[in-house]
Amino acid sequence: MVSENRRATGVRGVRRMVLGAAALVVAGLGLPAAGEDPNKWPVHDLTRPAPAAIEPGTAGTQEQPGRPPSDAVVLFDGKDLSKWVASKDKAPAPWKVANGAFEVVKGTGGIETNDSFGDCQLHIEWTAPSPAVGEGQGRGNSGVFFGGGRYEVQVLDSYQSKTYPDGQASALYGQYPPIVNATRPPGQWQTTTSSTWVPASTRTARTARSRGRPGSPFS
């Protein structure tokens, strides 16, 4: 889910949102399929099913977004929000799309994907306002939610800006800080890639949701 942010400033735009599919969904993330014995296959067993071969993607640059891998589900391609709906009434997503990126429209609420996903890897390219406005959690704050809104991957301008570690960019908000702070200066394109696993005991598809704040694409 991407939901509307009520703080004064938010992420400036998102130009690419890609969900890893095929080899990245369920077994592709290194997890056994539901009910499968993880010790079923002996070490180096040539009869074990091999991963699907794909065309790898390319890294984004400051000039243009990266090309997604051939098995990815592209949730936003820089053109429209046809794969998203408003969280409150499931109407077409009302947020702004311009110059290959999207951002929240104040007062419209959050948006979420049309489709639901289980195990996945989500790749996002985003940028914060420049010049920077605000401090700490009030500086380019946004976020992406998984598991029906239970988990949030923080999107925040954390470049030379102090805040609590479990609330800076790429943190699992309120739970775990990122390994490092790799945030670029405001106005430059950032990249966040998150992997999500659904517990085997509750392996049901859940809608990916996100929240957005004024001037932001999510949270």
Q: Which residue range forms the structural domain that includes residue 128?
A: 13-30+54-210
98 is a domain residue: yes
54/143 Cα distance (integer angstroms):
29
pLDDT of residue 123: 87
User: 182: domain CATH number?
Assistant: 2.60.120.560
Q: For 97-109, how does the pLDDT look when each residue is reduced to its tens digit (9 = 90+)?
A: 988 888 878 888 8
Q: For 102-161, how does the pLDDT look when each residue is reduced to its tens digit (9 = 90+)?
A: 887 888 888 898 988 888 888 888 888 889 989 999 998 888 888 878 899 999 999 999
- pLDDT of 164 higher than 90: yes
Q: How many domains does the chain have?
A: 1
Q: For 16-55, how does the pLDDT look when each residue is reduced to its tens digit (9 = 90+)?
A: 555 543 222 222 344 455 445 667 889 999 999 998 899 9
Amino acid symbol at 130: S
180 is a domain residue: yes
Could you give the residue ranges of the DSSP H alpha helices within 10-52?
A: none
- pLDDT of 215 higher than 60: no
The answer to whether the peptide bond before residue 131 is cis (omega within 30 degrees of 0) is: yes
Q: For 8-27, how does the pLDDT look when each residue is reduced to its tens digit (9 = 90+)?
A: 334 456 765 555 432 222 22
Give the residue from 121, 119, 96, 117 showing the smallest Cα distance to 11. 96
Q: Do residues 16 and 124 make contact, with C-beta atoms less than 8 angstroms apart?
A: yes
149 is a domain residue: yes
35/200 Cα distance (integer angstroms):
8
Phi, psi of 29 (to 5 degrees): -90, 15
Give the residue from 219, 204, 49, 41 showing the smallest Cα distance to 124. 219
217 is a domain residue: no
Q: For 61-92, how does the pLDDT look when each residue is reduced to its tens digit (9 = 90+)?
A: 898 888 888 888 888 888 999 999 998 999 99
Phi, psi of 117 (to 5 degrees): -135, 150
